[in-house]
């Protein structure tokens, strides 16, 4: 999905992602020429679809942990999840794929 | 003129294409150590795909080959039980998850290892309303993680046991590219041959994949009383899968099911039986097919370089 500023005919740039609220993720985009912006609000199914694709809005900042999707989304299976060291991964690795983006947003 | 989709380079900062390419590259790296990836599938349920997978894996291992099996039946995993590794704890490090080893050293990965209790079903966290919109993607990702995040190491064969139907086969091809070969499992009934025939068409003509042949399970009945093979379905002679060869017919033996329940491949517990001999012959034939393929690939190279 790509967005174009209708005034400048410029591709919009990712700005920030907010907290997920009732399954909806707010993602802000801005025009690099005129700074006009808008926020896209995903519905819960769209949010889930992006999460299950294994990608992060705004770009991946930390490498995914092994079996990260299964560890995150398998209901009731958490007690059976594999354990071990997680060298080289950040505090947000293995959590929601949006977590890193949300963390970044809260830090900035 | 307003910009169109293809006029715009990138996606504004998320680089989804790059992220997905990265996932694909990780999968390729993991698969690089595996010589032969063989899918085992059937359009029909209940024909014994997992029985064939487990015993073929065991037969290949008995030839001194390194073998892994991936239980790609996300919602109905059975291989961990059939190979005696159910309930084993998975260890993980930054490189991935170490697959449990069966008694004969077969590496096993299955959804079963992620479920805490025997009656725990596979349920995904997420919005349950209109869940069809994302569940297919979740299933694909589960298969991707099994392939990518399992420390398979160097393997001669990775057997991928697929659920009934052709849907997951298509997903596998999307993720992996074409497997090195596919075995199709059937039973000698008109219904099975009809349904399996359709799946063969799907695989060869739509998905353009290579089928090594058909394995007819329950091809006869091995009577423990008279120690002889008898017809089971009465339709054994009429196998017709078009251009796809019938590679093996495996007699039904009640002890096959008992061995699966105990977690010991029948080939290991009863190697001298007709059923086990059929699996051992199938394993040798499979190795021969791949050797033949390798030779065929080598010939023009050797001719061209000499």
Q: Residue B64: CB partners within 8 Å, gap ≥ 6?
A: none
**Residue B128: pLDDT over 60:** yes
Q: Does B95 reside within a domain?
A: yes
Distance from the Cα of B144 to chain A's closest Cα (Å) equals 9
Q: What is the rounded average pLDDT of the residues B238-248? A: 92
User: Can you give the pLDDT at residue B219?
Assistant: 93
Q: Which of A92-101, B244-253, B273-282, B293-302 has the lowest mean pLDDT?
A: A92-101
Q: Does B91 reside within a domain?
A: yes
Q: Does B272 reside within a domain?
A: no
User: B56 with B265: CB under 8 angstroms?
Assistant: no
User: B164 with B45: CB under 8 angstroms?
Assistant: yes
Q: What is the rounded average pLDDT of the residues B243-267? A: 96
For A13-36, the pLDDT digits (tens) are 999 999 999 999 999 999 999 999
- Closest-CA residue of A relative to B99 is A82
Residue of B3, B4, B7, B11 to mutate, interface with A, max A Cβ within 10 Å: B11
Percent of chain B with pLDDT over 70: 95
User: Can you give the pLDDT at residue A64?
Assistant: 82
Q: Does B191 reside within a domain?
A: yes
- pLDDT band at B140, cuts 50/70/90? very high
**Residue A108: pLDDT over 50:** no
Determine whether the interchain pair B91/A84 forms a contact, defined as Cβ–Cβ distance below 8 Å: yes
User: Can you give the pLDDT at residue B157?
Assistant: 98
The β-bridge relationship of strands B155-161 and B91-93 is unpaired
* Total residues belonging to chain B: 306
Q: Residue B98: CB partners within 8 Å, gap ≥ 6?
A: B90, B91, B92, B151
Q: What is the rounded average pLDDT of the residues B121-125? A: 92
**Residue A100: pLDDT over 70:** no
The β-bridge relationship of strands B211-223 and A37-41 is unpaired
Q: Does B201 reside within a domain?
A: yes
Q: Residue B226: CB partners within 8 Å, gap ≥ 6?
A: none
Q: Count CB neighbours of B226 within 10 A.
A: 8
**Residue A101: pLDDT over 50:** no
In angstroms, rounded to a whole number, what is the distance separating the alpha carbons of residues B189 and B160? Answer: 25
User: Can you give the pLDDT at residue B265?
Assistant: 97
**Residue B268: pLDDT over 90:** yes
Question: Which residues of chain B neighbour A93 with C-beta distances below 8 Å?
Answer: none
Long-range contacts of B287-293 (CB under 8 A, 24+ apart): B287/B60, B287/B63, B287/B65, B289/B181, B289/B212, B290/B35, B290/B36, B290/B180, B290/B181
CA distances from residue A77 to A8, A18, A86, B88, B185 in whole angstroms, order as listed: 50, 28, 19, 14, 31
In angstroms, rounded to a whole number, what is the distance separating the alpha carbons of residues A68 and B109? Answer: 15
Q: Does B202 reside within a domain?
A: yes
For B103, the token pair is: 């008694």
Domain that holds residue B170: 31-118+136-252
User: Can you give the pLDDT at residue B305?
Assistant: 42
**Residue B236: pLDDT over 50:** yes
User: Can you give the pLDDT at residue A65?
Assistant: 87
User: Can you give the pLDDT at residue A84?
Assistant: 65
Determine whether the interchain pair A69/B124 forms a contact, defined as Cβ–Cβ distance below 8 Å: no
Q: What is the rounded average pLDDT of the residues B265-277? A: 97
Q: Does B230 reside within a domain?
A: yes
- The question of ipTM being above 0.90 is answered as no
User: Can you give the pLDDT at residue B292?
Assistant: 81
For A33-63, the pLDDT digits (tens) are 999 999 999 999 999 998 888 888 888 777 7
Distance from the Cα of B86 to chain A's closest Cα (Å) equals 12
Q: Does B274 reside within a domain?
A: no
Determine whether the interchain pair B122/A74 forms a contact, defined as Cβ–Cβ distance below 8 Å: yes
**Residue B303: pLDDT over 80:** no
Determine whether the interchain pair B125/A77 forms a contact, defined as Cβ–Cβ distance below 8 Å: no
The β-bridge relationship of strands A13-17 and A26-30 is antiparallel
User: B150 with B32: CB under 8 angstroms?
Assistant: no
Determine whether the interchain pair A23/B127 forms a contact, defined as Cβ–Cβ distance below 8 Å: yes
In angstroms, rounded to a whole number, what is the distance separating the alpha carbons of residues B61 and B156? Answer: 10
Q: In terms of pLDDT, which residue wins out, A60 or B70?
A: B70
Among residues B144, B152, B163, the alpha carbon closest in space to that of B107 is found at B152
pTM for this model (two decimals)? 0.87
Number of folded domains in chain B? 1
Q: In terms of pLDDT, which residue wins out, A95 or B26?
A: B26
User: Can you give the pLDDT at residue A55?
Assistant: 86
User: Can you give the pLDDT at residue B304?
Assistant: 42
Q: Which residues pair with residue B246 across a beta bridge?
A: B214
Q: Residue B27: CB partners within 8 Å, gap ≥ 6?
A: B144, B147, B148, B175, B176
User: B159 with B69: CB under 8 angstroms?
Assistant: yes
User: Can you give the pLDDT at residue A92?
Assistant: 37
Distance between start and end Cα atoms, chain A = 25
In angstroms, rounded to a whole number, what is the distance separating the alpha carbons of residues B271 and B189? Answer: 27
Q: In terms of pLDDT, which residue wins out, B244 or A80?
A: B244
**CATH classification of the domain holding B85:** 3.40.50.300
- Closest-CA residue of A relative to B20 is A55
Determine whether the interchain pair B141/A52 forms a contact, defined as Cβ–Cβ distance below 8 Å: yes
Exposed e or buried b per residue across A75-89, where buried means at least 16 C-beta atoms within 10 angstroms of its C-beta:
eebeebbbebeeeeb
**Residue B247: pLDDT over 80:** yes
Q: Which of A69-73, B139-143, B184-188, B198-202 has the lowest mean pLDDT?
A: A69-73
Q: What is the rounded average pLDDT of the residues B198-225? A: 93
State whether residue A74 sits within 8 Å of chain B by CB: yes
Determine whether the interchain pair A14/B149 forms a contact, defined as Cβ–Cβ distance below 8 Å: no
Angle between helices B167-176 and B132-149 (to 10 degrees): 50
Q: What is the rounded average pLDDT of the residues B120-135? A: 92
Percent of chain A with pLDDT over 90: 46
User: B166 with B43: CB under 8 angstroms?
Assistant: yes
**Residue A93: pLDDT over 60:** no
């Amino acid at each position: 999905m790509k967005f174009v500023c209708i005034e400048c005919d410029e591709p919009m740039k990712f700005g920030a992602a907010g907290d997920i609220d009732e399954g909806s993720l707010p993602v802000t985009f801005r025009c690099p020429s005129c700074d006009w912006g808008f926020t896209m609000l995903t519905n819960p199914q769209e949010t889930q679809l992006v999460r299950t694709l294994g990608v992060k809005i705004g770009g991946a900042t930390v490498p995914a942990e092994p079996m990260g999707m299964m560890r995150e989304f398998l209901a009731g299976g958490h007690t059976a999840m594999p354990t071990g060291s997680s060298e080289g991964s950040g505090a947000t690795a293995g959590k929601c794929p949006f977590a890193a983006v949300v963390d970044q947003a809260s830090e900035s | 003129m307003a910009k169109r989709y293809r006029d715009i380079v990138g996606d504004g900062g998320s680089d989804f294409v790059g992220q997905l390419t990265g996932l694909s590259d990780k999968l390729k790296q993991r698969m690089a150590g595996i010589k032969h990836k063989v899918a085992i599938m059937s359009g029909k349920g209940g024909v014994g795909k997992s029985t064939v997978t487990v015993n073929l894996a065991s037969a290949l291992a008995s030839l001194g080959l390194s073998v892994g099996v991936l239980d790609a039946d996300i919602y109905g995993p059975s291989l961990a039980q059939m190979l005696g590794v159910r309930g084993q704890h998975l260890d993980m490090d930054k490189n991935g998850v170490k697959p449990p080893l069966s008694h004969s050293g077969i590496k096993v990965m299955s959804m079963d290892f992620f479920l805490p209790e025997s009656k725990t079903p596979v349920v995904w966290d997420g919005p349950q309303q209109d869940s069809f919109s994302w569940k297919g993607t979740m299933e694909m990702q589960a298969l991707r993680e099994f392939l990518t995040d399992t420390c398979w190491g160097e393997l001669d064969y990775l057997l991928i046991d697929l659920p009934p139907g052709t849907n997951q086969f298509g997903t596998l091809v999307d993720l992996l590219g074409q497997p090195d070969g596919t075995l199709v499992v059937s039973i000698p009934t008109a219904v099975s041959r009809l349904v399996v025939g359709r799946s063969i068409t799907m695989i060869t003509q739509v998905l353009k994949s290579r089928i090594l042949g058909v394995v007819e399970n329950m091809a006869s009945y091995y009577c423990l009383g008279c120690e002889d093979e008898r017809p089971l379905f009465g339709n054994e002679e009429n196998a017709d899968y078009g251009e796809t060869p019938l590679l093996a017919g495996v007699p039904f033996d009640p002890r096959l099911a008992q061995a699966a329940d105990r977690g010991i491949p029948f080939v290991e517990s009863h190697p001298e039986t007709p059923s086990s001999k059929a699996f051992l012959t199938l394993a040798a034939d499979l190795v021969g097919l791949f050797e033949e393929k390798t030779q065929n690939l080598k010939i023009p190279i050797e001719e061209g370089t000499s």
